[in-house]
Amino acid sequence: MQVIPPRETDLGGLVVRRLLPRAARRTIGPWCFLDLVGPLSFRAPVMDVPPHPHMGLQTVSWLLEGEMLHKDSLGSEALARPGTLNLMTSGRGIAHSEETPATHSGRLHAAQLWVALPDVDRDIEPAFDAYGERPIVDLAGGRAVVILGEVGGVRASGRTFSPIVAAELTIDGGAEIAVPLARGFEHGLVPLTGACTSAGDPLAIDHLYVVEPETGTLRLRAGAGGTARALLIGGAPFGEEILMWWNFVARTTDEMAAAREDWQARRRFGEVTRYAGDRLEAPAFHAKPVPANPMS
Ligand code: MN
């Protein structure tokens, strides 16, 4: 399997590990962004991302530990906890903030992902959905929590716009699981906790493993020392060229510049009125960035 090591990025004092998009791999199916945070222990709240805009995508927040409070320009306020799914469909435009709530467990371990919306759906009205308990598929030697899409014939509720899957895999200590993979999908695997191997090769925590095409069954074995957990994402090849800049997914640089202007002028995306504090300013947009010159 192709392996992509994480790249650390500092989001205002909070270090995240980015796995998508990367030069080696831009997308897995429609999944175009994947950040991991934690596991962290803290006293003072660690996460405080002020209101910022999104367009052309869905955001998926999945927690292994801790809490995250979402507020958006539709007036939604939702607490994400392990086992629940926060799914925000930006459509043509939405703004949101993400914070550690005042009452918290002092722990945070989370994955944040974006799904690119197909061209025919990307201008729809924005929406936010919080889903409770996700279905669990019993696999000999472990289990899969279906976050979105379907595993082994068990489908999770949740609004999707192209064929897609996400699941949290648990492998019991010393056991092996066989995860059925959808035909024709691209798949990526991210080990999150514990020691696990694939075909005898140890897999590194927080690395993205791109599953070989046409793999019908993904076999993962946990070390004898204890349970291992991993995130599986996948989907049909997206088949559309996307542009990504800041918090936007678009098709042209003109759209990108227009979205930036609308955010700065307080148009289109709305206001996160429940957030106590200032919104984020958009960075400068360069329509034709000059490639870095290693000689200068
Ligand atoms: Mn966001």
In this predicted model, what pLDDT tens digit does every residue of 14-40 receive, in sequence order? Answer: 899 999 999 999 999 999 999 999 999
- Distances 28 to 171, 187, 236, 249, 290 between C-alpha atoms, Å: 23, 6, 8, 15, 27
User: How far is the centre of ligand 1, averaged over its atoms, from the C-alpha of 247 (Å)?
Assistant: 7
Read off the pLDDT band of 286 (50, 70, 90): confident
In this predicted model, what pLDDT tens digit does every residue of 150-187 receive, in sequence order? Answer: 999 999 999 999 999 999 999 999 999 999 999 999 99
Do the domain assignments include residue 155?
yes
pLDDT at 149 over 70: yes
User: How far is the centre of ligand 1, averaged over its atoms, from the C-alpha of 107 (Å)?
Assistant: 20
- Distances 245 to 9, 34, 143, 251 between C-alpha atoms, Å: 16, 15, 36, 11
Residue 20: domain span: 2-235
User: How far is the centre of ligand 1, averaged over its atoms, from the C-alpha of 12 (Å)?
Assistant: 14
In this predicted model, what pLDDT tens digit does every residue of 180-212 receive, in sequence order? Answer: 999 999 999 999 999 999 999 999 999 999 999
CATH of the domain at 145: 2.60.120.10
Average pLDDT over residues 92-98: 97
Do the domain assignments include residue 174?
yes
User: How far is the centre of ligand 1, averaged over its atoms, from the C-alpha of 171 (Å)?
Assistant: 31
Q: What is the pLDDT of residue 294?
A: 46
Do the domain assignments include residue 17?
yes
First to last CA, the chain: 36
Do the domain assignments include residue 71?
yes
User: How far is the centre of ligand 1, averaged over its atoms, from the C-alpha of 271 (Å)?
Assistant: 14
User: How far is the centre of ligand 1, averaged over its atoms, from the C-alpha of 90 (Å)?
Assistant: 10
Whole-number percent of the chain with pLDDT over 70 = 97
Do the domain assignments include residue 91?
yes
In this predicted model, what pLDDT tens digit does every residue of 49-64 receive, in sequence order? Answer: 999 999 999 999 999 9
Do the domain assignments include residue 248?
no
Residue environment code for 107-140, b if the CB has 16+ CB neighbours within 10 A, otherwise e: bbbbbbbbbbbeeeebeeebbbebbeebebbebe
| Domain total in the chain | 1
User: How far is the centre of ligand 1, averaged over its atoms, from the C-alpha of 34 (Å)?
Assistant: 12
Do the domain assignments include residue 117?
yes
User: How far is the centre of ligand 1, averaged over its atoms, from the C-alpha of 164 (Å)?
Assistant: 20
Do the domain assignments include residue 253?
no
